[in-house]
Chain A
Amino acid sequence: MMLQINNLKVDFSTPRGILKAVRGITFNLSEGEFLGIVGESGSGKSVTAASIMKLIPTNGLIKGEVLMNGKNPFTMSTQELLSFRGSEIAMIFQEPGRSFDPIYNIRKTFFETFKAHDPAINEDESEARAIKLLQEVHLPHPEDRLGNFPHQFSGGQLQRIMIALALASNPKLLIADEPTTALDVTIQAEIVELLKELKRKRKLAVIFITHDIELVSRLADRILVMYSGLVMEDNKASTILKKTHHPYTLGLINSLPTFGNHYSTHKLVSIPGNIPDPVLPGKGCPFAPRCRMVKSECSMELPALNREDGAYRCIIKGPKVNTENG
Chain B
Amino acid sequence: MDNILEFKNIEKHFNLEAGLFSSFGRFVYAVNDVSISIQRGTTYGLVGESGCGKTTTARMAVGLYTPNKGNIVYYAQNGKIFDSGNMNKQDLNELRGKIKYIFQDPSKSLNPRMNIFQILTSGYHHSSLWPGKMKARIEAEKIMLDVGLATEDLLRRPAEFSGGQRQRISIARALIMKPEFIICDEVVSALDVSIQSQILNLLLGLREKYKLSILFIAHDLTVTTFFSDRIGVMYRGRIVEEGSALEIAGNRVHPYTRLLYNSIPSWKDEKHEEYGMGDNEVSNSSEFDSGVALKGCPFAHRCKFKIEICTEQIPELRSISSGHFSACFRNGEI
Spell out A's residues near B (CB within 8 Å): 40-42, 138-140, 154-157, 184-190, 192-193, 196, 211-215, 217-219, 241, 251-252, 254-263, 266-272, 274
Not counting A156-B286, A266-B226, a sample of 4 additional A-B residue pairs whose C-beta atoms are within 8 angstroms of each other reads A140-B284, A185-B263, A218-B275, A252-B193
Most buried by A among B259, B261, B265, B284: B265
Q: In whole Å, how far is B280's beta carbon from the nearest beta carbon of chain A?
A: 10
Contacts of B276 in A (CB 8 A): 189, 192-193, 196, 218
B193, A189: Cβ atoms under 8 Å? no
Asked whether, in the complex, the Cβ of A263 is within 8 Å of the Cβ of B204, the reply is yes
By a CB distance below 8 angstroms, the chain A residues around B198 are 255, 270-272
Indicate the size class of the contact surface on chain B.
35 or more
Tell whether, in the assembled complex, residue A259 and residue B249 are in contact, meaning their CB atoms are under 8 Å apart.
yes
Q: Give complex CA distance A254, B267 in Å.
A: 13
User: In the assembled complex, how far is the CB of residue B206 from the closest CB belonging to chain A, in whole angstroms?
Assistant: 13
Q: Bound state CA distance, A186 and B275, in angstroms?
A: 12
Determine chain A's interface SS by DSSP, over half rule. loop
Is B57 an interface residue, CB under 8 A from the partner? no
List 8 A–B pairs whose Cβ atoms lie within 8 Å, in order of A's numbering: A40-B192, A184-B50, A186-B263, A190-B284, A241-B267, A259-B221, A271-B194, A274-B165
A217 to B254 Cα, complex, angstroms? 28
Do B286 and A258 touch across chains, with their CB atoms under 8 A apart?
no
Q: Contact at A255–B277, with CB atoms within 8 Å?
A: no
CB pair B194 A252 closer than 8 Å: yes
**Which of B164, B194, B219, B263 is close to A189, meaning CB atoms less than 8 Å apart?**
B263
Chain B residues near A255: list those with CB within 8 A. 193-194, 196-198
Binary contact track B256-267/A, C-beta < 8 Å → 1, others 0: 000111111111
Within the complex, the shortest CB–CB distance from B220 to chain A, in Å, comes to 6
Residues of A within 8 A of B284 (CB): 138-140, 190
Interface presence of B285 (CB below 8 A): yes
Task: List residues 9-53 of chain B with CB under 8 A from any CB of chain A.
Answer: 49-50
Inter-subunit contact A260/B192 (CB<8 Å): no
A218 B249 Cβ-Cβ under 8 A:
no
Q: For A187, list chain B residues within 8 Å (CB).
A: 49, 286
B285 with A140: CB separation less than 8 A: yes
Q: Is the CB of A260 within 8 A of B249?
A: yes
CA A131 to CA B301, docked complex, whole Å: 25
Do A189 and B275 touch across chains, with their CB atoms under 8 A apart? yes
User: Is there contact, CB below 8 Å, between B260 and A185?
Assistant: yes
Q: Is B79 an interface residue (CB 8 A)?
A: no
Residue of B nearest to A211 (CB): B192
Q: Which residues of B, 165-218, contact A by the 8 Å Cβ criterion?
A: 165, 192-198, 200-201, 204
In the bound complex, do residue B219 and residue A193 qualify as a contact, i.e. CB atoms below 8 Å apart? Answer: no
* A186 touching B197 in the complex, CB below 8 Å, given contacts A259-B221, A259-B266, A262-B245: no
Binding site for A on B (CB under 8 A): 49-50, 162-165, 192-198, 200-201, 204, 219-223, 225-227, 245-246, 249-250, 259-269, 272, 275-278, 282, 284-287
| Among A42, A185, A269, contact of B197 (Cβ-Cβ < 8 Å) | A269
From A139, A185, A241, give the contact of B219 (CB < 8 A). A185
B241 to chain A, nearest CB (A): 15
- The residue in chain A whose Cβ has the minimal distance to the Cβ of B280 is A193
A40-B262 contact given A184-B219, A258-B268, CB 8 Å threshold: no
Which residues in B have their C-beta under 8 angstroms from that of A212?
A: 193, 265
In the complex, the answer to whether A263 meets B227 with C-beta atoms within 8 Å is yes
In the complex, are the beta carbons of A262 and B225 less than 8 A apart? Answer: yes
Of A138, A154, A186, which is within 8 A of B260 by CB?
A186
CB of A186 within 8 A of CB of B265, answer no
Task: Give the distance to chain A from B74, nearest Cβ to Cβ, in Å.
Answer: 25
**A263-B277 in contact given A185-B221, A270-B197 (Cβ < 8 Å):** no
Contacts of A218 in B (CB 8 A): 265, 267, 272, 275-276
**Of B49, B165, B192, B221, which one neighbours A41 at CB under 8 angstroms?**
B192
Contacts of B249 in A (CB 8 A): 259-260, 262
Q: Give min CB distance, A158 to chain B, whole Å.
A: 12
Complex contact A259–B194 (CB within 8 A): no
CA A262 to CA B278, docked complex, whole Å: 29
Bound-state CA distance A256–B264 (Å) is: 12
Closest CB in chain A relative to B325 CB, distance in Å:
20
With both chains docked as a complex, state the minimum distance between the C-beta of A161 and any C-beta of chain B, in angstroms: 13
A156 to B163 alpha-carbon distance, docked (Å): 24
A257-B223 in contact (CB<8A): yes
Question: What is the chain A residue whose CB lies nearest that of B259?
Answer: A186
Q: A193 contacts which chain B residues (CB < 8 A)?
A: 276-278
Let me know if A258 and B266 touch, CB within 8 A.
yes
| A160 nearest in chain B by CB position | B284
| A257 engages B266 (CB within 8 Å) | no
> When the two chains form their complex, are residues A40 and B277 in contact, meaning their CB atoms are under 8 A apart?
no
The CA of A247 and the CA of B220, in the complex, are separated in Å by 26
Given the complex of chains A and B, what is the CA–CA distance between A214 and B50 in angstroms?
22
Q: A257 vs B266: C-alpha distance in the bound complex, in angstroms?
A: 10
**Would B287 and A270 count as touching, CB distance under 8 A?**
no
Taking the closest CB of chain B, its distance from the CB of A165, in whole angstroms, is 19
Known: A185-B260, A192-B275. A261 touches B226 (CB 8 A): yes
Cβ–Cβ contact A257 & B260, under 8 A: no
Which residues of the partner chain B approach A41 to less than 8 Å between Cβ atoms?
Answer: 162-163, 192
